[in-house]
Amino acid sequence: MPRRLLVRRPSPRLNEGELTHRPRVDADPQLALAQWEGYVEAFRSRGWDVISLPAADEHPDGVFVEDVVVVFDDIAVITRPGASSRRGEIDSARAQVTATGLTVAAIAAPGTLEGGDVLKIGRTVYVGLSSRTNADGIAQLRAILEPHGWSVVAVPITKVLHLKTGATALPDGAVIGYQPLVDDPTVYDEFVPMPEEEGSAVVVLDEHTVLISASAPGTAAALRARGLEVVAVPVTEFEKLEGCVTCLSVRVRG
């Protein structure tokens, strides 16, 4: 099965998106669209099939599609965002995901869960207990996944918006992050600090290649020193809205 990428183009109302930990700095919607197109092309050029969710211009945060869908093997979990302004993004995402043939499960009230809080390493799922994801949402996710051989670990998050704002995993399972923004690095079997906040987020393209923000050249150098190929793309306009390279897509690996 080919690798598939679910994305949604950015709304021209991107600047109205939710902010929790950062001061508001206006993004350039036209530059954001160009950066998003470059991000998508980085996957397409490496053989990923790109599936676009319906545009949702009325939802400023709709481009951060990972927050509303999380995929585990052939199970797609439709989340229930902690930001009530984002719950209108769910229906169009559910329809598109159902069309892919994945088995669909969903988080229900009073649970909240956002995909930015979900970090998968092997068969372990670390889930941030954050301002956007609550204990009930984590409990529901555990009930969905444990029968399929996944282990769910709750991780308290206080310093950043989502767990993956501060830490993500490399192909070998090592967790990287900007240590001042990670509540407890000892949660992970191996934690490797990176020199830049923007270097906390990586997307694994294959077992030898990762995609990161072009805003983190020091991190790129550190990852290359570990033997990885690094693809760097500019995502400055999304970083202004507390976004990063992980939250702009949902990766479905066959």
59 is catalytic: no
The active-site residue out of 148, 208, 244, 247 is 247
Report how far residue 125's alpha carbon sits from residue 139's, in angstroms, rounded to the nearest whole number. 12
CA nearest neighbour of 168 among 155, 158, 82: 155
Domain boundary assignment for the chain: 29-252
The active-site residue out of 59, 148, 162, 244 is 162
Question: Counting every residue, how long is the chain?
Answer: 254
CATH tag, 29-252: 3.75.10.10
Q: Is the dihedral of CA 104, 107, 113, 114 positive or negative?
A: positive
Q: Look at residue 254 in the predicted model and tell me its pLDDT.
A: 65
Strands 203-206 and 191-193: unpaired
247 is catalytic: yes
Q: Look at residue 23 in the predicted model and tell me its pLDDT.
A: 79
Amino acid at 237: E
pTM of the model: 0.95
Per-residue pLDDT of the chain in tens (254 residues, 90 and over written 9): 579 999 999 999 999 988 787 778 899 999 999 999 999 999 999 999 999 999 999 999 999 999 999 999 999 999 999 999 999 999 889 988 988 889 999 999 999 999 999 999 999 999 999 999 999 999 999 999 999 999 999 999 999 999 999 999 999 999 999 999 999 999 999 999 999 999 999 999 999 999 999 999 999 999 999 999 999 999 999 999 999 999 999 999 86
CA nearest neighbour of 132 among 42, 247, 15, 230: 247
Q: Where are the alpha helices (DSSP H) in 65-215?
A: 90-99, 135-145, 163-166
